[in-house]
């Protein structure tokens, strides 16, 4: 049985080798390309300021991150979740570069690119010349990403899991299909037998507890937070929320 972790990170900026840090990690587990419902999510105190550009992308402020654990405090838990699974990441060099810089600081072995599937490279091979960012791929494959008003590691990992399954041909575990042991080559772009296209909105795989934690986080951001549009917080709830 093949185990994969679809992974996404958010960061303080874009320069891992110049001191920018990981501030959020989200991952979802696949077995034979099928989501199991297991996920990993954590916010991290980067011990440095979030850049204005990054804040505009993900909305995670210095104040929000101040009481979160540092990377060294969560690294063993994260590695235990990942295990020896293949990693599925969009624009993998970015995320792996940041994670390896964090591992360098904690003295852990680096993640090698040989165990990573880069869905951006996969999409470029399958759709050359077309836009292949996550939003464009969702539009192409009919995947609902209407709640993605801001980047968030767990939500993006969930969406990417659906995109990845479409990129490899919409394979289902009951067909007994697998990518096999290699990460590149013709089988990654091979078309599987056509299956019926999903017509309804994608179903979230967030647990109730994860959703409640996210709603609590949004309420702390105050009444002007754009994340309120994402979870559609009721005004009666917002009025009783503590000030950010």
CATH number assigned to the domain with residue range 3-205, chosen from the 4 options 3.80.10.10, 3.30.420.10, 3.40.50.800, 3.20.20.140: 3.30.420.10
Average the pLDDT over 80-103 and give the result.
Answer: 98
Q: State the average pLDDT for the chain.
A: 82
Instruction: Give start-end residues of each CATH 3.30.420.10 domain in the chain.
Output: 3-205
Q: Are strands 116-118 and 86-89 parallel, antiparallel or unpaired?
A: parallel
Question: 32 falls in which pLDDT band (50, 70, 90)?
Answer: very high
pLDDT for res 230: 52
197 pLDDT higher than 50: no
CA 16 to chain centre: 18
Q: Please list, in sequence order, all residues whose beta carbon lies within 8 angstroms of the beta carbon of residue 185, skipping any fewer than 6 positions away.
A: none
pLDDT for res 229: 57
Q: Any catalytic annotation for residue 151? A: yes
Give the global pTM.
Answer: 0.70
232 pLDDT higher than 70: no
Say how far apart CA 12 and CA 68 lie, in whole Å. 14
Lowest mean per-residue pLDDT among 143-147, 173-177, 190-194, 221-225: 190-194
Q: Which of 33, 41, 58, 151 is catalytic?
A: 151
Pair 59, 10: CB distance under 8 Å: no
Pair 59, 24: CB distance under 8 Å: no
Question: 193 falls in which pLDDT band (50, 70, 90)?
Answer: very low
Say how far apart CA 4 and CA 116 lie, in whole Å. 9
115 pLDDT higher than 90: yes
Three-state DSSP at 210 gives: helix
Give me the DSSP letters along 113-173. Answer: GGGEEEHHHHHHHHSTTS--SHHHHHHHHT---TT-SS--HHHHHHHHHHHHHHHTT---G
What are residue 159's phi and psi, to 5 degrees? -65, -45
191 pLDDT higher than 80: no
54 vs 191: which has the higher pLDDT? 54
Average the pLDDT over 39-53 and give the result.
Answer: 97
Other C-beta atoms closer than 10 Å to the C-beta of 151 total: 18
Pair 111, 96: CB distance under 8 Å: yes
Say how far apart CA 1 and CA 178 lie, in whole Å. 9
Q: What does the buried/exposed string (b/e) look like for 66-79 if buried means 16 or more CB atoms within 10 Å of the residue's CB?
A: eebeebeebbeebe
Question: 63 falls in which pLDDT band (50, 70, 90)?
Answer: very high
Cα dihedral: 100, 42, 67, 22 (round 10): 30
Q: Is the dihedral of CA 162, 211, 55, 14 positive or negative?
A: negative
């Amino acid at each position: 049985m093949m185990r994969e972790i679809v992974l996404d990170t958010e960061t303080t900026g874009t320069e891992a080798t110049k001191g920018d840090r990981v501030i959020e990690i989200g991952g979802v587990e696949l077995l034979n390309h099928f989501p199991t419902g297991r996920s990993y999510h954590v916010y991290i105190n980067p011990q440095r300021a979030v850049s204005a550009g990054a804040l505009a992308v993900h909305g995670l402020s210095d104040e929000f991150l101040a009481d979160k654990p540092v990377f060294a405090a969560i690294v063993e838990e994260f590695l235990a979740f990942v295990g020896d699974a293949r990693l599925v990441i969009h624009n993998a060099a970015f995320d792996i570069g940041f994670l390896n810089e964090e591992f360098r600081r904690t003295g852990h072995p680096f993640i090698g690119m040989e165990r990573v599937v880069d869905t951006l490279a996969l999409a470029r091979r399958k759709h050359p010349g077309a836009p292949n960012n996550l939003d464009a791929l969702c539009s192409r494959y009919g995947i609902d990403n209407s709640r993605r008003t801001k980047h968030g590691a767990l939500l993006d990992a969930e969406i990417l899991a659906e995109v990845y399954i479409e990129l490899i041909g919409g394979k289902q575990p009951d067909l007994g299909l697998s990518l096999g042991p290699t990460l590149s080559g013709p089988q990654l772009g091979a078309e599987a037998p056509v299956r019926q296209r999903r017509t309804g909105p994608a179903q979230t795989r967030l647990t109730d507890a994860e959703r409640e934690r996210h709603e609590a986080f949004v309420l702390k951001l105050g009444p002007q937070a754009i994340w309120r549009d994402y979870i559609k917080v009721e005004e009666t709830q917002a009025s009783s929320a503590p000030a950010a």
